[in-house]
Structure 1
Amino acid sequence: MDSLETLLAGCRRRDRQSQEKLYRRFYPALFALCRNFFDEKHDVLTALNNGMLRVFQHVDQYDPQKGEFFSWMYTIVRNAALTLLRNRKTQAFHYDEIDDKMGFESPENPLDALNAGDIQVYLMQLPVATRRICGLFYLDGFSVKEISEALNIREGTVKWHLSESRNRLKSILEKALR
Structure 2
Amino acid sequence: MDLNETIEGCKKMDRKSQEELYRHFYPAFFSLCKRFFADEHDILTALNNGMMRVFKHIHQFDAAKGDFFNWSYTTIRNAAIALINERKTIVTLEIKESHTEAFSYNPFHDHEWSDIYWYLGRLPSNTRYVCTLYYLEGFSIKEIASAIDMKEGTVKWHLSECRSRLKAIFENQKLNSGE
Distance apart, 1:165 and its partner CA:
0.9
2:93 is matched with which residue: 69, 91, 97? Answer: 97
Give the structure 2 partner of residue 137 of structure 1: 134
TM-score by length of 2: 0.87
Give the structure 2 partner of residue 5 of structure 1: 4
Q: Deviations for 1:30-84, whole angstroms, at most 9, x for unmatched residues?
A: 2222233334433322221111111011112212232222111111011112122
Give the structure 2 partner of residue 165 of structure 1: 162
Cα distance in 2 for partners of 1:18, 1:176 equals: 46
Gaps of 5+ in 1: none
Query: Residue 29 in 1 paired to residue 28 in 2?
Result: yes
Gaps of 5+ in 2: none
Contact 2:84 2:129 in 1 (8 A): no
Give the structure 2 partner of residue 121 of structure 1: 118
Percent of aligned positions with the same letter in both sequences? 50
Aligned length: 174
When residues 36 and 173 of structure 1 are mapped into structure 2, their CA distance, relative to the original with a 3 A threshold, is same
Cα distance in 1 for partners of 2:66, 2:169 equals: 36
Cα distance in 2 for partners of 1:168, 1:97 equals: 16
Structure 1 vs Structure 2 CA RMSD: 1.9
Cα distance in 1 for partners of 2:8, 2:128 equals: 37
Cα distance in 2 for partners of 1:26, 1:7 equals: 12
Query: Residue 147 in 1 paired to residue 128 in 2?
Result: no
Distance apart, 1:102 and its partner CA:
4.7
TM-score by length of 1: 0.87
